Structure 1
């Protein structure tokens, strides 16, 4: 199997810890911290690697935090290609309140990329993805990156005869879908915003999803529904699956785990509805992990038989 190339525009070092109670104006004595390389594409690459697949991560890095990011990725054993930037790689911070089990997630904007820096990423993508079958672009754009950047990525993918999996939202998604995307994975709110629909009923989503594929240049649409599971729509059929019930420890990276699991399934030649099962299992497995650990292979494989999609159309 050819490596799945992942692209991360705004990587981060994810730091997580736990406190008894989050209160203002007091020193909060934290437990020991955990640091993981993060950002949409890097998380997807981590999941693919954990599940036994091959990935190649492309991302910018800068400053002392960029050096730490390299060390963390080396420890994970990930294949990678980085572009040096003048700014410092960002850090995000997640605190779990032990008493209530609530998560407080603090997300930094990240460094501003100069035109020569984001253009270098685009040029490098043309090189590292020359033989790729799948390219996964996931996460928000870094400050300074033009809103049509993912549309440019879609053009690169089309030129390379690669299938683009895109997990983003807002204007970057709207611009990219005009260029053609193999798979799009918005959440429920992002999908409604994209379609300009003001409906809240779950029953209305299948019709909207079919309408999207009828008028857009995409082959697979997955709408994540949180506790309600996810909806898969292709031109051959439509399926909905519920996640197996588990005790949630952390929701960080559940969406990225889904994308990693499903894309790996597709790259292994599975039908979309079977790859969908691996996506649901991977996303659910991430809930069992603490902090920013993402899904574990053993959990994913144990949950997979419990995922039984229901055909809607």
Structure 2
């Protein structure tokens, strides 16, 4: 059984509701209220364990809302290492408008984290490694330095643990600049912001991703393109995998599900292409239903068969 750790520096209590129609200034009655532990690394761990792996969650939790997050994690039987903080854990909301099928998402910036608190996180991770992989996912809260993920990655490499990163902006730039990342997973927009220019074609995206790989910054770079699919760059070249045609009802956790499946496949000895197909299936499965349920195994299996068996399952973009 593969064993990984995930790090969620800015976790959320994810709340989802159904509503007939959004109306400004009116009191709107909701239905189907659901609560789940959220944030990049936590979402990755939830899906990773569904696939059959074992994940240890490092996360920050505090304030009046922290105990709620702690309880939700306990309900999901996730192995956890809680780093206490003074600030309140944030609450993120997703509202599904039944009349239109649209989803509205509200995400606060989160607490301010003191230096002693994020340093305690570094110390805890250092003691837990080595593992098969360490996934660094999600935004950094206020007060945490932009090179924090780069610092964590350096510790992981010293302890022979592969590093997966899924973030954006300066934290992503700093982590890649330090080099040695096993897998990076930006979205198309995040990669465009990283390289400082619009990326409007598959070729553009593939060229930039491949340049990052061949510069030694990451062994693999998977760039997710929403309903279009994803691009995967490795030393030998770039492949594009189209997404299956499905009706998307939510965007919550699609990228996290993609990461969980990809790293699960790679840590269980599957080929890179098999891992890419499984990741695409998991990312697609996550959007099939509204709310915070993430990818479910039956949907992943069905979509994986569809993706891997398709005629256009693998298209080389750049050699």
- State the TM-score, normalized to the length of structure 2: 0.95
Deviates more, 1:138-147 or 1:264-273: 264-273
**Which whole-Å CA distance do the structure 2 matches of 1:22 and 1:54 have between them?**
40
Gaps of 5+ in 1: none
**Which whole-Å CA distance do the structure 1 matches of 2:159 and 2:2 have between them?**
14
**Which whole-Å CA distance do the structure 2 matches of 1:205 and 1:68 have between them?**
40
Aligned ranges 1:114-153 → 2 under 5 Å? 114-128=114-128, 130-153=129-152
Post-superposition Cα deviations, 1:208-230, rounded to whole Å, max 9, x if no partner, equal 22222222421000010111100
2:205: which partner in 1?
205
RMSD over aligned CA atoms reads 1.2
Gaps of 5+ in 2: none
2:23: which partner in 1?
23
- State the TM-score, normalized to the length of structure 1: 0.96
Q: CA deviation at 1:14?
A: 0.3
Post-superposition Cα deviations, 1:117-144, rounded to whole Å, max 9, x if no partner, equal 000011101112x221200000000111
2:249: which partner in 1?
249
1:38: which partner in 2?
38
2:184: which partner in 1?
184
Deviates more, 1:154-163 or 1:60-69: 60-69
Q: CA deviation at 1:22?
A: 0.7
Contact 2:2 2:268 in 1 (8 A): no
Aligned ranges 1:82-93 → 2 under 5 Å? 82-93=82-93
Contact 1:239 1:273 in 2 (8 A): no
Post-superposition Cα deviations, 1:137-162, rounded to whole Å, max 9, x if no partner, equal 00000111011101101111111111
Instruction: Say which SS state the counterpart of residue 288 (structure 1) adopts.
Output: coil
Does residue 1:175 correspond to 2:179, yes or no? Answer: no
Contact 2:2 2:264 in 1 (8 A): no
**Which whole-Å CA distance do the structure 2 matches of 1:105 and 1:206 have between them?**
30
1:159: which partner in 2?
158
Does residue 1:283 correspond to 2:287, yes or no? Answer: no
- Against the structure 1 CA distance between its residues 199 and 301, is the aligned structure 2 distance closer, same or farther, given a 3 Å change threshold? closer
**Which whole-Å CA distance do the structure 2 matches of 1:107 and 1:99 have between them?**
23
Q: CA deviation at 1:294?
A: 0.3
- Against the structure 1 CA distance between its residues 192 and 297, is the aligned structure 2 distance closer, same or farther, given a 3 Å change threshold? same
Aligned ranges 1:207-286 → 2 under 5 Å? 207-286=207-286
- Against the structure 1 CA distance between its residues 229 and 91, is the aligned structure 2 distance closer, same or farther, given a 3 Å change threshold? same
Deviates more, 1:3-12 or 1:191-200: 191-200
**Which whole-Å CA distance do the structure 1 matches of 2:292 and 2:230 have between them?**
22
**Which whole-Å CA distance do the structure 1 matches of 2:23 and 2:143 have between them?**
35
1:310: which partner in 2?
314
Instruction: Say which SS state the counterpart of residue 52 (structure 2) adopts.
Output: coil
**Which whole-Å CA distance do the structure 2 matches of 1:236 and 1:203 have between them?**
15
Post-superposition Cα deviations, 1:244-283, rounded to whole Å, max 9, x if no partner, equal 2222221111111101111111111112221111110100
